[in-house]
Structure 1
Amino acid sequence: MPHESVSQADNPHELLATVRELTRQVRVAQRGTWFPLLVFATITLVAIPVYRYAPYLDLFGTCRSRPGHTVCAAPNPAELGYWTVALLLAYVAIAAFYVRQSRRRGLGTPIRPYVVVGVALAVLMTAVSVWLALHPLVPVPADPFSTDPAEIEVGAAGWLVNGLASPIAVIGLALLVLAWVERHWALLAYDLAFLALVVIMGSQVIHSASPWFFLPHLLVPAAVLLLGAAVFAVFRPQPGVRA
């Protein structure tokens, strides 16, 4: 009789521990971290020909010209249009991947908050970018053709706002939500390092007449995303294997 009482007293604790362990295993099985990183790396690489060859659309009237040379204070709206569409399509692809994976494994997927936040950030990025084009935090120099760094000096707060409004930063901010959804501490650490890289690169001004001057701002994040996708793919949970 005492033995039965002890077993009954232990049962609720054992049941709670079992439920927690099953919940953890389900969360691990739901992870598909490598796929969003691969998708974002792909759209970042595809952006290269857009940056290089898309004609500049002076929608905000910020361009100033002189014979043989033109300077525009605002980014090319064609690039902004590309990123808006590319990010929205990326989240559609990511949502479809997670839904397909959940059906194949017979598990539900909590990916909706991540997709909703990602889409919201993409739309917000577009709105903020348009606002910054009309109200630039980086002051326009008296001589738009000047290369004097003092003429384009801006505070740390200005660089931070400009950097966080960039498409690459939007990708990193949305990945924070994915880390929370998947309860993925490795992804959180990776993403914080990625965001730090974005902020550092966003604070760098490249003075170059080359039409390929933008390459580091795309190739470096794309390489980091591809590396992350490869690592998370190698260590992704396998169906039926206890994590």
Structure 2
Amino acid sequence: MTHESVPQANSPQELLASVRDLTRQVRVAQRGTWFPLLVLATVTLLAIPVYRYAPYWDVFDACQTGPEYRVCPAPNPAELAYWTVALTIAYAVIAGFYVRQSRRRGLGTPIRPYITVGVALAVLMTAVSSWLTFHPLIPVPADPSSPADIEVGPAAWVVNGLASPVAVIGLALLVLAWVERHWALLAYSVVLLAIVAIMGAQVIQSSSRWFFLPHLLVPAVVLLLGSAVFALFRRASEVEA
């Protein structure tokens, strides 16, 4: 007579596997990654007319004017005001989306850290940009027609790059990746920040008033593509569940 061990329905291995599967399903149900990316892409695209048509407010009296040129070391305060207000509204809309989704699905999402960090970074961006007006890490030539060769260390480019609006968006997305336990979003956020860093290190010398366009269009396209991809993955996960 032989005795064979028969796995029981409530064995520790099966219970552990069930808990892991349930945890994965809950995390997938809590995620709404596509929506923040869509909202932030919209905010980035809406910044284009502000950059193009908003008059420069020299509130810091830092511009240098010559016979045929005008050099301003600081970003347009109108642009900073737009990003601060637009990002704050965007995070409020995103918070509303997650609250509505939680009520509909009956699963709460700890979205507060992402919203708090996002708004804080938007305000900090404005403060750092204002500080850099009087303490520029990358000197601006007094005469753009004959710029001098200025050597700037990588640290200066990093600080200036992190003070940009799209970098602020990417840094906040790292927090969202932690909140949602989303490895794919983490990798995506790192790629977005790398793109911002590479573009920020490029010096554009152009007389066109549309010179800024690549710095807004490229991140906006990346955000839109990310939103579409994460939405497709979410639908696929819901079908499998």
Q: TM-score, normalised by structure 2?
A: 0.91
1:173 corresponds to: 171
The alignment partner of 1:123 has SS state of: helix
Written as runs of structure 1 = structure 2, the 5 A alignment for 1:1-243 is 7=8, 11-141=11-141, 143-150=142-149, 152-237=150-235, 241-243=239-241
CA distance in 2, matches of 1:21, 1:165: 40
Deviation of the 1:60 alpha carbon = 1.4
Deviation of the 1:135 alpha carbon = 0.9
Deviation of the 1:114 alpha carbon = 1.0
The alignment partner of 1:236 has SS state of: helix
* Structure 1 gaps, min length 5: none
CA distance in 2, matches of 1:140, 1:208: 15
CA distance in 2, matches of 1:121, 1:13: 44
Deviation of the 1:144 alpha carbon = 3.3
CA distance in 1, matches of 2:50, 2:147: 29
Q: 1:210 to 1:130 in 2, by over 3 A?
A: same
**Does structure 1 conserve the Cα–Cα contact (< 8 Å) formed by 2:38 and 2:224?**
yes
Q: Partner letter of residue 175 of structure 2?
A: V
CA distance in 2, matches of 1:241, 1:80: 42
**Does structure 2 conserve the Cα–Cα contact (< 8 Å) formed by 1:25 and 1:242?**
no
Deviation of the 1:239 alpha carbon = 8.7
CA distance in 1, matches of 2:147, 2:79: 26
**Does structure 2 conserve the Cα–Cα contact (< 8 Å) formed by 1:128 and 1:165?**
yes
Deviation of the 1:70 alpha carbon = 1.4
* Structure 2 gaps, min length 5: none
Deviation of the 1:25 alpha carbon = 0.7
**Does structure 2 conserve the Cα–Cα contact (< 8 Å) formed by 1:44 and 1:222?**
yes
Q: Partner letter of residue 211 of structure 1?
A: R
Q: 1:25 to 1:146 in 2, by over 3 A?
A: same
CA distance in 2, matches of 1:3, 1:119: 61
Cα RMSD for the two superposed structures: 2.2
**Does structure 2 conserve the Cα–Cα contact (< 8 Å) formed by 1:29 and 1:237?**
no
**Does structure 2 conserve the Cα–Cα contact (< 8 Å) formed by 1:43 and 1:86?**
yes
Deviation of the 1:242 alpha carbon = 4.1
Q: Partner letter of residue 207 of structure 2?
A: A
Identity in percent: 72
Deviations 1:185-239 (A, max 9, x none): 1111111111110000000010000011000100111011111111111221479
**Does structure 2 conserve the Cα–Cα contact (< 8 Å) formed by 1:105 and 1:239?**
no
Q: Partner letter of residue 210 of structure 1?
A: S
Q: TM-score, normalised by structure 1?
A: 0.90
The alignment partner of 2:211 has SS state of: coil
Deviation of the 1:122 alpha carbon = 1.1
Q: 1:46 to 1:107 in 2, by over 3 A?
A: same
Deviation of the 1:29 alpha carbon = 0.8
Tell me the matched-pair count: 239
